[in-house]
Chain A
Amino acid sequence: MYKEFFDYFQNNKNVYLDNAATTQKPKEVLQIMQDYYTKFCANTHRSNYSSANKATQLYEESREYLQKFINAKSAHEIVFTKGVTESINFIASSFVANKFATVIISTLEHHSNIVPWHMLGKSLNHGLAVVNCDENLNFDMKHFESLLKQHPKSFISLAHISNAFGKILPIKDITALAHKYDSVVMIDGAQALAHIPVDVQDLDIDFYAVSSHKSFGPTGTGAVYIKDIHLKDVKPYQTGGATIDKVTFEKSTLLDSPYKFEAGTQNIAGVLGFYAALKFINSIGYKEIHDKEMDLYLYLKKELSNIEGCEFYNDTAYSIGSLSFNIKGLNDEDIGILLDKQNVQVRCGHHCAQPAMQYLGIEGTIRASIAFYNDKYDINKFIIALNKAIDILRD
């Protein structure tokens, strides 16, 4: 029933189960972007005519909405970025570099939360420590504490929800423990906002990166929450127009946060689209989203479990969204292509989490990732197509 809110589903009869890669966009998101470009297209924070003022006002309203959405204390703690990847790179180079001897990540991280640390010159056991997970891919708190004991005053950077396996990390417990050891915590929330509410104050997070396009908004937009106590220690990532208070040939004086972190013309349409996406999520409500998704998630797991040779890597406890599996003896990419030819879209491969695949001793998985607009029809069609693919591939 929720598919009617999305033009994509009016134009396609595909079964879309690749929501962890990107979500579809509701009409409201497309409408506000269209309105911006066709009715009040102007740059923000510069000119003083009416459409420029309207664009600026809506841009700042978007910031305030996101602030309240994740329960940040103040709007100046919200910095718009291109997305989670840029947010992590920004904090890595502007806050972590030369300040922390050790960065601690988990086994299940996306490459975007591994490669930036390598770029800082850190590698495993040389400034980079990795927390183990158990046989169900749950975050190993005991191992985490042992790493914190060895490396107090570290920078902790973890995904809220694993993109490849859908495992939810116990963020509140993690931040409490990390702060006990004088460490600072950044959370990659790319997979979170589409599925679960986030309260950065309750979770006591220092940095939290969010993605628009994985949360029903447009691509190329995201944000990072920076707890106010850290703002003075974060250096501007880039500089240029709209970041400065005063410039002479002798020196430049920068504005306060968030403006000093948003150099150049921003992705205005993207931010407004993100604003509309957040309002859309609120109009559905996280309880409804969660109930609908969990019902589907468990149904998907049950149906897959009936397929001979289906191998899973985690249980469904503390999991949401993504479900990864393989079919014994068959190649995940072969299955993905044959599903596509039956109009079923899933992602196959390493999901930008090669170290997690190496940990499990596999090349990749087939990942079905659901959003609240999916339904049992989608799952049934997926299972039929999967069985056909298996029949074709097996002798």
Chain B
Amino acid sequence: MHIEQSVEQRVEQIKEDLALFDNDLEKYEYIIDLGKQLDALESCHEKEENLVQGCTSKVWLVCEIKEGKLIFKANSNAMIVKGLVYILIYLFSDLTPKEILSTDLNILKQLNLIEIITPNRQSGVTGMLKRIKEYAYAFDKKQ
């Protein structure tokens, strides 16, 4: 996934896409379809240390840096979570660590995901965001 847009533009894009659907079931179908498009994660990365805390389903998240920008890859054993992971990777990949660290994570509220995801999965999304910030912090320190 290579994206040139700013985080704000990416959020707006997802928001517009979600607004196309009349009901929650259709939104979920869309999110599941996004999950099906998620780039494969090599099975060697599906290990304990890459598991994201707080998710009811398993989510493995890894990160590498290319030309100063962070590239995230992830997988989950649940399709809906895979779709949510796709959205988060879409929002935060291809940004510098500093860009991620300076992003107000409340920006996600604009997506109204809270309306459609269960409280358990909300803590999973929070866990994924925390892990993304941790990666950004670690790579920023290295630079």
Interface residues, chain A, CB within 8 Å of chain B?
330-331, 333-334, 337-338, 341-342, 349, 363, 392-393, 395
- B residues 12-53 in Cβ contact with A at 8 Å: 23-25, 28-29, 32, 36
* Given A392-B32, A393-B32; A334-B78 close (CB under 8 Å): yes
Judge whether B106 is part of the interface by a CB distance below 8 angstroms: no
Judge whether B77 is part of the interface by a CB distance below 8 angstroms: yes
* Given A331-B79, A334-B80, A337-B80; A342-B56 close (CB under 8 Å): no
* Given A333-B78, A395-B36; A338-B28 close (CB under 8 Å): yes
A193 to B57 alpha-carbon distance, docked (Å)? 33
In the assembled complex, 15 residue pairs joining A and B whose CB atoms fall closer than 8 Å, in A order, are A330-B79, A331-B57, A331-B78, A331-B79, A333-B56, A333-B80, A334-B78, A334-B80, A338-B25, A342-B25, A363-B77, A392-B28, A392-B32, A393-B32, A395-B36
Interface range, B side = 10 to 19
Q: Quick check: A334 and B25 within 8 Å, CB to CB?
A: no
Judge whether B118 is part of the interface by a CB distance below 8 angstroms: yes
Q: Quick check: A331 and B32 within 8 Å, CB to CB?
A: no
* Given A349-B56, A395-B36; A331-B77 close (CB under 8 Å): yes
**Contacting residues, chain A, for B78 (C-beta < 8 A):** 331, 333-334
**Chain B residue with minimal CB distance to A338?**
B28
**Chain A residue with minimal CB distance to B56?**
A333
**Contacting residues, chain B, for A333 (C-beta < 8 A):** 56-57, 78, 80
* Given A342-B25, A349-B56, A393-B32; A337-B118 close (CB under 8 Å): yes
* Across the A-B interface, the 4 shortest Cβ-Cβ residue pairs: A331-B78, A341-B25, A341-B24, A334-B79
**Contacting residues, chain B, for A341 (C-beta < 8 A):** 23-25, 28
A331 to B118 alpha-carbon distance, docked (Å)? 15
**Contacting residues, chain A, for B80 (C-beta < 8 A):** 331, 333-334, 337
A133 to B81 alpha-carbon distance, docked (Å)? 34
A395 to B28 alpha-carbon distance, docked (Å)? 15
- B residues 76-131 in Cβ contact with A at 8 Å: 77-80, 118
Q: Quick check: B57 and A392 within 8 Å, CB to CB?
A: no
How close is B121's CB to chain A, nearest CB, in angstroms?
A: 8
A349 to B57 alpha-carbon distance, docked (Å)? 10
How close is B83's CB to chain A, nearest CB, in angstroms?
A: 10
How close is A14's CB to chain B, nearest CB, in angstroms?
A: 14
**Contacting residues, chain A, for B25 (C-beta < 8 A):** 338, 341-342
**Chain B residue with minimal CB distance to A363?**
B77
A392 to B118 alpha-carbon distance, docked (Å)? 19
How close is A362's CB to chain B, nearest CB, in angstroms?
A: 12
**Chain B residue with minimal CB distance to A341?**
B25
Known: A330-B79, A393-B32. 11 other contacts (CB 8 A): A331-B77, A333-B57, A333-B78, A334-B32, A334-B78, A341-B23, A341-B24, A341-B25, A341-B28, A349-B56, A392-B32
